[in-house]
């Protein structure tokens, strides 16, 4: 299977060399890899160019965007720049972060999963972070959710869900729309991926309302947003985030912000969320 990879990188010179090294050592190499150097002011560009000079399937393009690290729109806009630079001859398209170390069999294992199940739309491994000199499962990792840091899509699924939405919550919307269209989601817990920079570490204060805004845009409704905001704030170990998430929801509602999904898709999302919530108590 032809695997293409897009990596968005903003000031990642501490990590991206390790990420690329783990990719060039894969037992199954990608056909193409493009790094989108997004307004970096450090040595990211130099490091990537060094790899591109050694491996003809690695390329780099540069783009200029905000210096702020806002989740959602910034990284997906950069991803879309990378997508435009690639041809359409792929079977699997991967959106990877620039701070990951993959086990050597990662791409081969993911490819085998796609080959084994024609209805498999998305797949990934599990993210691990370093704590007290040990690699432990990242708290946001779940068996039923693929982390935004390491998404792999079958082309047909990727196209059917309308590709990726440049908004906070894109990495939930894509999975739900895949399920809405009959695709299967898979996470392989045997694939341990080292996540060198924990999620949200570089998010600034301006991003704190975006999670609640995303819940509104996904048509969660008040009660599912309330429950989801409490759960997420608890998982992140900061109950004050609950207030920020709810404020973001109400800000988006009062502004009549544009939804990310249709009314039918929103109904599917709410039913799916309620089913999951009920499953926790039954």
Q: Which of 86-100, 162-176, 252-266 has the highest mean pLDDT?
A: 86-100
Residue 236 is predicted with a pLDDT of 80
Residues 30, 134, single domain; the answer is yes
Which residues lie closer than 8 Å to 133 by C-beta, 6 or more apart? none
Within this chain, do residues 181 and 260 fall inside the same structural domain, yes or no? Answer: no
State the pLDDT confidence band at 249, using cuts at 50, 70 and 90.
very high
pLDDT in tens, 113-139: 999 999 999 999 999 999 989 999 887
Q: Do 145 and 43 share a structural domain?
A: yes
102 and 155, same domain (yes or no): yes
251 shares its domain with 139: no
Looking at residue 69, its pLDDT comes to 54
Q: What is the pTM of this model?
A: 0.87
Do the beta carbons of residue 193 and residue 126 sit within 8 Å?
yes
DSSP state of 142: B
204 vs 179: CA distance, rounded Å: 32
| Domain count across the chain | 2
Same domain, 69 and 42: yes
Instruction: Say if 268 falls within a structural domain.
Output: yes
Nearest Cα to Cα of residue 65 among 52, 81, 49, 50: 81
Dihedral over Cα of 99, 190, 143, 136: its sign = negative
φ, ψ for residue 232 (rounded to 5)?
Answer: -70, -40
**Same domain, yes or no: 165 and 119:** yes
Q: For residues 69 and 61, is the Cβ–Cβ distance under 8 A? A: no
The CA distance from 115 to 250, in Å, is: 44
Task: Assess whether 214 and 180 both reside in one domain.
Answer: no
Mean pLDDT of 92-97: 98
- Domain annotation covers residue 201: no
Per-residue pLDDT tens for 151-161?
A: 999 999 999 99
Residue 200 maps to a domain: no
- Placement of tokens 């991967």 in the chain: 94
Pick 68 or 186 by higher pLDDT: 186
Q: Between residues 144 and 188, which one has the greater pLDDT?
A: 188
* 218 and 129 together in one domain: no
**C-alpha to C-alpha distance for 48 and 114, rounded to whole angstroms:** 29
Is-contact 100 197, C-beta < 8 A?
no
What is d(CA 112, CA 124) in angstroms, rounded to the nearest whole number? 12
Q: Can you say whether the dihedral through the CA atoms of 170, 176, 181, 186 is positive or negative?
A: positive
Element (H, E) at 50: helix 44-54
Mean pLDDT of 170-174: 92
Q: Which of 153, 174, 195 is the last residue of a domain?
A: 195
Average pLDDT of the residues of the chain:
91
Residues of the chain above pLDDT 70, percent: 93
Domain with 217, as residue range(s), is 208-281
* Position 202 in a domain: no
How far apart are alpha carbons 223 and 40 in whole angstroms? 40
Please tell me which residue, 240 or 33, carries the higher pLDDT value. 33
Tell me what pLDDT residue 200 has. 54
Stronger pLDDT, 282 or 279, i.e. the higher one: 279
């Amino acid at each position: 299977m032809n695997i293409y990879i897009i990596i968005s990188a903003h000031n990642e010179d501490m990590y991206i060399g390790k990420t690329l090294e783990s990719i060039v050592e894969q037992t199954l190499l990608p056909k193409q890899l493009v790094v989108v150097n997004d307004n970096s002011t450090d040595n990211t560009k130099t490091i990537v160019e060094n790899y591109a000079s050694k491996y003809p399937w690695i390329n780099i393009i540069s783009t200029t965007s905000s210096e702020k690290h806002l989740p959602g729109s910034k990284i997906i806009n950069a991803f879309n720049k990378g997508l435009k630079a690639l041809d359409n001859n792929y079977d699997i398209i991967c959106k990877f972060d620039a701070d990951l170390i993959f086990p050597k069999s990662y791409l081969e294992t993911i490819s085998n999963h796609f080959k084994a199940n024609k209805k498999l739309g998305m797949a990934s491994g599990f993210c691990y972070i370093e704590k007290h000199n040990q690699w432990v499962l990242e708290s946001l990792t779940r068996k039923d959710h693929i982390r935004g840091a390491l998404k792999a899509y079958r082309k047909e699924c990727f196209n059917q869900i309308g590709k990726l939405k440049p908004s906070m919550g894109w990495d939930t919307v894509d999975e739900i729309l895949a399920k809405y269209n009959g695709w299967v989601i898979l996470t392989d817990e045997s694939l341990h991926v080292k996540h060198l920079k924990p999620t949200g570490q570089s998010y600034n204060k301006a991003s704190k309302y975006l999670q609640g805004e995303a819940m509104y845009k996904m048509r969660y409704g008040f009660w599912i947003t309330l429950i989801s905001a409490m759960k997420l704030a608890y998982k992140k170990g900061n109950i004050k985030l609950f207030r920020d998430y709810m404020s973001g929801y109400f800000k988006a509602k009062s502004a009549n912000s544009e939804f990310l999904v249709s009314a039918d898709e929103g109904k599917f999302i709410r039913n799916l969320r309620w089913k999951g919530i009920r499953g926790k108590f039954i």
